[in-house]
């Protein structure tokens, strides 16, 4: 992708020539495709080649930013003028500055599979039909569908800045999911399951994905509202990942600096049970969140975030690191239309020794939560309250579906009450978790 590097490099030079002290161009370009079937008929075929670029300039310690999807030379030249003019509107900030080039290992992270783009629309439609066929065959109560979907794409990310960073990488992805709708006694339930991979041959089979989706839907039929109580709550892979995502938000170096996080002033302190080990690994081979460098061009790494319950680091980009007197952890994340925010790479709770069955078996009365709804996290206090649905556990066995409930606690309390961690870690997205058990939460129902 030398073309893009040269193209971005020329824009950086132009910005400097026009008076910027520092300049950076971040460009993404690629294609995306989506195919879906519903009730065995083709529903949607979407295909696009897409691109965009963002230009950050710093002049007199002031920051201006512009982006565009229009790459005409004259228009980009006007845009650079705008960026420099806009920088004059911003305040002087001594911490403004772009990333410095650092040596970066050029190991293959397994992010690009050239076979994905060769997959024909017919082959994708066939995968979708197999998803729906399996899910309808699973149980006669599955009577409808929000469709079977196959999405894929590939992109090139290029970054060039005036301090000497000039880098580029390609990645690809594909995923499939289906949404069965089941009916019993006139009432509907829907569910879903998915598989994600950067390589076509590592995607789970449509049959295995559809069976899980069907099972997750069927088992919710006849859901009741349980009585309000305090009880243990087991999070599965999907709902667990959402809770681990809340930890990710709380260690954002920008939120920490603004004291807008429940993990302020907690560095090197115990914030979770000793069973909790969380990593952020930008170099996981084939990982959904893997990348050789972050949104500013800094080389990514594998980091211990929480080790045996102790918080080891916050996450920074170049700007927030300077403010905190720390080094960037290469967690700048962005697309072309924004300046960097802080985000995770492959951010996950490490697996523990227990099978999900053992964890369920350890609960006398409690909730196995498989679906979370709505918002309900106060990022500053850690107060947590979410809509939930799942399966009730009686004497170590799944006893029946429940819905119409909320689960509530404070995240710091929840992290300390994690008393079993499962061995079933799997990456369905960049934030991942195995099954785990929290010894007590408040469940509001009838």
Tell which positions 261-280 bind other proteins, by CB under 8 A: 264-265
Among 267, 270, 399, 428, the residue binding other proteins under the rule CB under 8 A is: 399
Question: How far apart, in whole angstroms, are the C-alpha atoms of residue 51 and residue 153?
Answer: 13
* Terminal-residue alpha carbon distance, the chain: 59
**Per-residue binding letters, 200-229, with other proteins (x by CB under 8 A):** --------------------x--xxxxxxx
Counting contacts by CB under 8 A, is residue 65 touching other proteins? yes
Q: Enumerate residues 154-193 that contact other proteins by CB under 8 A.
A: 181, 187-190
In DSSP notation, 337-403 reads: TS--EE--SSEEEPP-SB-HHHHHHT-SEEEEEEEEES--B-TTT-EEEEEEEEEEEETTEEEEEEE
Counting contacts by CB under 8 A, is residue 41 touching other proteins? yes
Counting contacts by CB under 8 A, is residue 370 touching other proteins? no
Among 6, 13, 19, 48, the residue binding other proteins under the rule CB under 8 A is: 48
Among 1, 5, 86, 301, the residue binding other proteins under the rule CB under 8 A is: 86
Cβ atoms 149, 36 nearer than 8 A? yes
In DSSP notation, 185-212 reads: TTEEEE--EEEEESSGGGSPPHHHHHHH
Select 24 or 281, whichever has its Cβ closest to other proteins: 24
Name the pairing type of β-strands 347-349 and 431-432.
parallel
Question: How far apart, in whole angstroms, are the C-alpha atoms of residue 363 and residue 232?
Answer: 7
Min CB(147)–other proteins separation in Å? 8
Q: Enumerate residues 287-346 that contact other proteins by CB under 8 A.
A: 337, 339
Among 126, 211, 341, 383, the residue binding other proteins under the rule CB under 8 A is: 383
Q: Enumerate residues 408-427 that contact other proteins by CB under 8 A.
A: 408-410
Cβ atoms 240, 433 nearer than 8 A? yes
Question: How far apart, in whole angstroms, are the C-alpha atoms of residue 76 and residue 438?
Answer: 53
Contact region for other proteins (CB under 8 A) — 194-202, 279-287, 298-306, 405-413?
405-413
Among 3, 6, 50, 361, the residue binding other proteins under the rule CB under 8 A is: 50
SS3 at position 214:
helix
Contact region for other proteins (CB under 8 A) — 98-106, 202-210, 340-348, 375-383?
375-383
Among 9, 97, 101, 376, the residue binding other proteins under the rule CB under 8 A is: 376
Min CB(68)–other proteins separation in Å? 4
**Residue 204, number of CB atoms within 10 A of its CB:** 17
SS3 at position 159:
strand
Q: Enumerate residues 99-128 that contact other proteins by CB under 8 A.
A: 121
Q: Which two tokens stand for residue 433?
A: 């978790």
Among 17, 202, 327, 364, the residue binding other proteins under the rule CB under 8 A is: 364
Backbone torsion region of residue 110, taken as left when φ is above 0, otherwise alpha when ψ lies between -120 and 50, otherwise beta:
left
Min CB(110)–other proteins separation in Å? 26
């Amino acid at each position: 992708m030398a073309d893009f590097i040269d193209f971005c490099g020329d824009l950086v030079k132009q910005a400097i020539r026009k008076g910027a002290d520092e300049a950076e161009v971040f460009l993404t370009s690629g294609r995306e495709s989506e195919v879906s079937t519903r009730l065995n008929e083709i529903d949607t075929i979407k295909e696009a080649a897409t691109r965009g670029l963002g230009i950050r300039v710093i002049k007199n310690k002031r920051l201006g930013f512009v982006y565009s999807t229009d790459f005409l030379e004259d228009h980009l030249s006007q845009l650079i003028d705008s960026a420099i003019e806009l920088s004059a509107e911003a305040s002087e900030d001594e911490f403004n500055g772009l990333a410095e080039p650092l040596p970066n290992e050029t190991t293959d992270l397994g992010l690009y599979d050239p076979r994905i783009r060769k997959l024909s629309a017919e082959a994708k439609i066939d995968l979708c039909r197999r998803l729906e066929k399996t899910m309808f065959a699973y149980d006669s109560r599955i009577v409808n569908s929000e469709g079977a979907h196959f999405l894929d794409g590939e992109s090139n990310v290029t970054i060039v800045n005036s301090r000497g960073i000039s880098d580029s990488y390609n990645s690809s992805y594909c995923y499939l999911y289906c949404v069965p709708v089941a009916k019993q006694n006139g009432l509907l339930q829907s569910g879903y399951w998915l598989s994600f991979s950067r390589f076509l041959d590592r995607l789970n089979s449509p049959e295995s994905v559809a069976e899980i989706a069907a099972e997750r839907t069927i088992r919710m039929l006849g859901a009741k509202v349980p009585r309000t109580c305090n009880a243990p709550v087991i999070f599965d892979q999907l709902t667990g990942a959402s809770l681990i995502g809340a930890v990710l938000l709380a260690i954002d170096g920008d939120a920490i600096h603004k004291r807008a996080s429940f993990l302020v002033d907690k560095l090197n302190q115990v914030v979770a049970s000793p069973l909790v080990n969380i990593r952020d690994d930008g170099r996981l081979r084939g990982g959904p969140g893997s990348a050789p460098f972050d949104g500013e061009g800094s080389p990514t790494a594998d980091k211990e975030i929480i080790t045996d319950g102790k918080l080891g680091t916050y996450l920074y980009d170049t700007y927030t690191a300077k403010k905190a007197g720390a080094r960037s952890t290469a967690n700048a994340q962005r697309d072309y239309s924004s300046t960097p925010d802080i985000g995770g790479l492959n951010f996950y709770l490490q697996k523990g020794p227990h099978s999900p069955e053992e964890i369920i078996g350890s609960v006398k009365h409690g909730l196995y939560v498989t679906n979370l709804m709505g918002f309900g996290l106060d990022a500053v206090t850690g107060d947590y309250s979410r809509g939930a649905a799942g399966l009730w556990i009686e004497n170590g066995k799944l006893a029946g579906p429940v819905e119409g409930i909320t689960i509530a606690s404070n995240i710091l309390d929840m992290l300390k009450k994690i008393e079993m961690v499962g061995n079933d870690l799997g990456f369905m997205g960049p934030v991942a978790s195995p099954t785990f058990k929290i010894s007590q939460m408040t469940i509001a129902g009838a």
